[in-house]
Chain A
Amino acid sequence: MTTKKLMTASVVALMAATPVMADLVFPSLSYRTGPFAAGGIAFADGYADYFTLLNERDGGIGGVMASVPECETAYNAEKGVECYEATKAEGALVYQPLATSITYQLIPKVEVDGIPLHTMGYGRTSAKNGEVFRHTFNYPVNYWDGASAGVNHFLDLNDGSLEGRKITLLHFNGAYGKEPIPTLEALSEKHGFELSTIAIDYPGQEQKSQWLQIRRERPDYILFWGWGVMNQVAVQEAANIGYPMENFMGIWWSGSENDVLPAGAAADGYKALAFHEMGSDFPVFDDIQTYVVDAGKAAGAGDQIGSVLYNRGLYAAFLAAEAAADAQEATGEPEITAAMMRDAMESLEITAQDMEDAGIPGFGPVFSVTCQNHGGDGLASVAQWDATAQEWSLISDFFPSDGEVVNALIKADSEAFAAENDITPSCD
């Protein structure tokens, strides 16, 4: 063997023996194509750009670079599962499935694979019960919190009484749209308002019947659970029948710029629930501009920054990065595993100081997570669209949902799930 070959063999052996610092992997199950792409692109950009910022500005998380392998789901459950299966072997730390349908498919899988699932403001509401859903988290807020927050806002507008008022839930005719019905029924009994539900079939491009019914029934308030083109058409149809926009409120998935811009000035005053701040008036966006966009490393064209769904993606990335950093701190291991990530998510505490340090002061609610409570404290806010300024802004602080009603429903639903699936609720 020649000296050259010996040296080469030594170098190879040395490389094999030296531990390589692996990336922290945060797969992004994005949807940049298909009918829902307009919403998916902004979220995916925000999610990726925040991790790119941490890499470029801070050298990653705890000295380890973050990687965000993206897989296109087209908002389709089958493709979502394929993406999960294709990326989980890369050392995935947490999944954001970004669709309730994909969430339902992944809940049993993550239990087997031991990878945490974070469904922020969507998915299965009763997954808040961490004793049953050990690997699924839905902090800081869920659909039932949303329904209750909407009613709480209407209560505020009516001096605390909705007795004799009519509230209509206009909703997507599927699992997502039907999620708030049990909560609203319970709240209807508690507060004495009349609840009616009106369903819209996918995709919702034609809603004449629904809006003629609303025009006949004249509800005092409308809560709206829509997604995709359903949102734009609903806002336009509400304007068409002259429904007062300030009494029409969407869930957070029905409250982006995409949903109101096509209706123009007629959308002015439309409200939506929110669980994070709007706009780009936060220090983090200056850093993103400098370290990500100007450096040519933005996930997209850099034109989504500050939009509602970009901010949501950024917020999801912030929460994931905080949990990863907590896991590193708790274990003393810079290269964490999915199990360590799960444990950190289960003891996550987001304080005002955490947000301040990340350059997003007051961006979202302050909350904490425990084994019994994977959903945070259920704090939501109300945003309103200003068509003249073409911007959303929060018109309330983050306020709590009706825990008495919501938690009882979560307990009942999660225990039923546990019984059906032979799960013994436990924190061990």
Chain B
Amino acid sequence: MSADFLYGIEVIINGLMAGVLYALVALGFVLIFKASGIFNYAQGVMALFAALTLVGVMEGQVPFSHVINAVFGTEIHHFGWEVPALLAIFVTLLVMILFAWLVQQLVFRHLVGQEPIILFMATIGLAYFLEGVGDLMWGSEIKTLALGLPQGGSLVVEDWTAGLGGDDFYGFFIDKLDMVATLVAIVLVAGLIGFAQYTKQGRAMRAVADDHQAALSVGISLNFIWVLVWSLAGLVALVAGVMWGAKSGVQFSLSLIALKALPVLMLGGFTSIPGAIVGGLIIGVGEKLFEYMIGPMVGGATENWFAYVLALLFLVFRPQGLFGEKIIERV
């Protein structure tokens, strides 16, 4: 096989794995939109906040230490202990559940029945507020996420495939972190689908997603379900924050990963978990292949805009996205 062909396959494999990472971000948007009709602009910031909290808890950092020190003239920064990763993840999840409860109690409970644009604007405010709180709570410096996740290309895969092409082919490069992210995403999606299908709360969640007034009439607590949904979005945000943060360190740019989710949502639909996954994979492969084949002819750096072009092309044929619900309004 020619080296170019094999490198094309390598690009597709890496595109699929990048797509999984995009889908991880998109999933959080889908969960909240499906259950409450809110397009959560704050999802990227939630990923940042979750990752900041995880690192802060692991390192035994005192939350709001800069504020405390500035107000009281103290010099405290750390508790002096380190928390094991699993326990820190558990604590972070509790924080995200508390955040979900607070968001529901303080913001969205008071906005029930408002226009979608009002709810969207509220999430914009929430995003900036949460970013500021994250800054005050944990500081602005770049933090290293020491979860022990594997990094670097898989030498096994590289050696095993090196003989497939000629001297110009160096074997497939597959990032071990991407492989872990793929496995985690599979487990996460399976868990979410299982939760939605086979648990009482999951079924209630689906009922609210279908028709929240009908769900309310049969005794389902909308308040509880919305807290549950925001908590699940918090869990997804934590996973996304960990996977992206492992690449770049945990820092405020992490909130920008939301930009990567938008074309995925346009393509996959705002209401479908499988749509987020398939959309992510299509965007990942599409943008990487385009960059590989066409990029060098047009100066490169095509991925950001091509993802949107690809999504728009799909929208021409399916305005509701690949897996979105078709909206039919009869006069």
Contact = CB atoms under 8 A, between A and B. Distances in A.
A163 B117 CA distance: 61
B144 A261 contact: yes
For A205, A233, A241, the residue with the greatest tally of chain B CB atoms inside 10 Å of its CB is: A205
Given A34-B252, A198-B300, A209 B288 contact: yes
Contact of A38 (B18, B140, B244, B259): B140
A242 B291 contact: no
B29 interface: no
Determine which residue in A199, A205, A208, A210 has the highest number of CB atoms from chain B within 10 A of its CB, and name it. Answer: A208
Interface in B282-312: 287-288, 291-292, 295, 299-301, 303-304
Nearest to A237: B247
Contact of B249 (A198, A208, A213, A261): A261
A237 to B, nearest CB: 8
A161 interface: no
Nearest to B259: A203
Which of A199, A206, A236: most chain B Cβ within 10 A? A206
A184 B86 CA distance: 49
B11 interface: yes
B253 A205 contact: yes
Interface string B43-75: 000000000000000000000001001000100
Interface in A209-266: 209-210, 212-213, 215-216, 228-229, 232-233, 236-237, 239-242, 258, 261-262, 264, 266
Contacts of A37: 135, 140, 252
A262 B135 contact: no
Contacts of A34: 252
Given A38-B142, A296-B73, A173 B253 contact: no
A199 B299 contact: yes
B255 A205 contact: no
Interface residues of B, number: 46
A236 B252 contact: no
Interface string B140-181: 111011000001110000000000000000100101000000
Interface string B11-48: 10011001001000000000000000000000000000
Nearest to B175: A240
B271 interface: no
Bin chain A's interface residue count.
35 or more
A38 B140 CA distance: 6
Interface in A256-302: 258, 261-262, 264, 266, 296, 301
Interface of B is mostly: helix
A233 B287 CA distance: 19
A228 B69 contact: no
A426 interface: no
B10 A206 contact: no
Nearest to B158: A242
A41 interface: yes
B253 A262 contact: no
A197 B142 CA distance: 28
Nearest to A234: B248
B248 A229 contact: yes
Contact of A266 (B18, B66, B152, B260): B152
B257 interface: yes
Interface of B: 7, 10-11, 14-15, 18, 21, 66, 69, 73, 132, 135, 140-142, 144-145, 151-153, 170, 173, 175, 244, 247-249, 251-257, 259-260, 287-288, 291-292, 295, 299-301, 303-304
Given A38-B252, A232-B251, 4 more contacts: A35-B253, A208-B175, A209-B288, A212-B292
23 contacts: A33-B252, A37-B135, A38-B140, A38-B142, A38-B252, A199-B300, A200-B301, A205-B247, A205-B256, A206-B21, A209-B288, A209-B303, A213-B292, A215-B173, A229-B254, A232-B142, A232-B247, A236-B248, A241-B153, A258-B251, A261-B142, A262-B144, A301-B69
